[in-house]
Amino acid sequence: MDFRIEKDTMGEIKVPKDKLWSAQTQRSLENFKIGTERMPIEVIQAFSLLKKGAAVANYKLGKLPLEKTEAITIACEEIYNGKWNDHFPLVVWQTGSGTQSNMNVNEVIATRGNQILKERELDFTLHPNDDVNMSQSSNDTFPTALHIAGVLAMEDQLLPALSKLKATLNQKSEEFQGVIKIGRTHLQDATPLTLGQEISGWHHMLEKCESMLMESLVYMMELAIGGTAVGTGLNAHPQFGEMAAKEISLYSGKAFTSATNKFHALTSHDQMVHVHGALKALAADLMKIANDVRWLASGPRSGIAELFIPENEPGSSIMPGKVNPTQSEALTMVSAQVMGNDVTIGIAASQGNFELNVFKPVIIYNFLQSVRLLADSMISFHDKCVVGIEPNYEKIKENLENSLMLVTALNPHIGYENAAKIAKLAYHEGITLKEAAVKTGLLTESEFDQKVDPANMIGNTKWKES
């Protein structure tokens, strides 16, 4: 491998000749050989929006020449479009402020910007600190990039996936509103409801989660940019933070604002904790939905078997013909991972000492992983399972008619204790509720048929069969 010599305040160091990074990136590569988890590319893209916005703001404030501003802008646009992804090699497990990733971005922009200046035959040289990092500190740029990356991922990946799944569940709820089935509580038979009603609960979970996510995301629209080292804004123009936030909003299409209190913005990540809490709530609901689906589809002959779900692949390497609820399994594993990520984020966010939290890389790594996994798994669950859910009408009818809990309809007429006598007699003697009712002498067959009708036990008439 060919090398070139780069210099920083600590001296000289060899850097691969074909790479755009410089000395500080190389030192991080050599000093933090920990794990395989790289800084997410979403963070790098967020940095490119940030650095472009900062350069334009500095230009408008008269601090950066137009020629340098244009070179930085072009380099940032190339980074955002993925042209230089291989030049951002740093791992998550680095300095807790993210300084080395900030400098990685600064160095790549400076090197690429200098190439652009040379191509234009302009007598300017970009410096990664003095020009690209002008009016900034890693302490305010990294949390700014966290919020930009988080908001973009939420709004562009997760919320569309959630909306898609929610819409199909709503359609299924309407489609199956007349399918009366037995309900279950405590994993035991309960009173009837319709399959549409049951699915409407799943739909409303996602509707609530969507609302909570959108409400919580407002807090992440605040950016730390302009706070520099400790929140005072040292070496930055007083208007820089606000101007940079406006430029970032313009380039990203999101309504970012400059944080009103930069001291908070540098040392606290309560906003990300709050948003991820809503992601954890979504994970909990998805866990419940996926479990309900696989329980209701269990069988095909020895389980509940009230639902048919798509058969996507063989389920066993030894049992021929076996098909498993694999989409539910994948979604529930994702939910478990997100719940674990929430613990990590909460602990990391609690470690803001004095003017800075130094657990930033692990916070954004877990946050973005949660968003990505939830978005991908919801799309997969939707496309490969939910769209193909169909009722097993025969099994639903059988389970409904065999349920002892239909006896609940008799409570207002013969009382709880008498109704319990009928249910227990039917269970112990293996006879139907009607046969037990007649045998006790509490009801005639016609009285039983009149009072025990599942269609009259499902509440809101919207759900009753016409």
| Single-letter residue type at 211 | S
Count of C-beta atoms within a 10 Å radius of residue 149: 25
Taking the CA atoms of residue 150, residue 155, residue 160 and residue 163 in that order, the dihedral angle to the nearest 10 degrees is: 100
The answer to whether residues 162 and 206 touch, using CB atoms and an 8 Å cutoff, is yes
What is the number of residues in the chain? 466
CA atoms of 203 and 389, how far apart (whole Å): 14
Out of 28, 135, 316, 377, which one is annotated catalytic? 316
Helix residue ranges, H only, 154-299: 159-175, 195-217, 240-252, 262-267, 270-296
Residue 242 phi/psi, 5-degree rounding, is -65, -40
Helix (H, G, I), strand (E, B) or coil at 83: coil
Q: Which of 186, 302, 317, 446 is the catalytic position?
A: 186
Q: Which helix (H) or strand (E) holds 431?
A: none
Structure tokens at 118: 């040379």
Give yes or no: 186 in active site: yes
Q: Residue 387's Cα: distance from chain center in Å?
A: 21
**Interhelix angle 99-119/138-153, nearest 10 degrees:** 90
> For the purposes of burial, counting CB atoms within 10 Å of the CB of 31, is it exposed (0-12), middle (13-18) or buried (19 or more)?
exposed
Cβ density class 204-236: b for 16+ within 10 Å, e for less: ebbbebbebbeebbeebbbbbbbbbbbbebeeb
Distance, CA of 432 to CA of 414 (rounded, Å): 18
- Cα–Cα distance list, 215 to 77, 203, 338, 401 (Å): 30, 19, 20, 45
316 as an active site residue: the answer is: yes
- Smallest CA-to-CA distance from 224 within 183, 269, 281, 174 is with 269
DSSP state letter for 40 = P
Tell me which residue of 97, 108, 116 sits closest to 26, measured CA to CA: 108
Using left for φ > 0, alpha for ψ between -120 and 50, and beta otherwise, residue 98 falls in left
Q: Per the structure block, which two tokens stand in for 10?
A: 């600590």
CA 41, CA 197: separation in Å to the nearest integer? 42
User: Mind telling me the catalytic residues?
Assistant: 186, 316
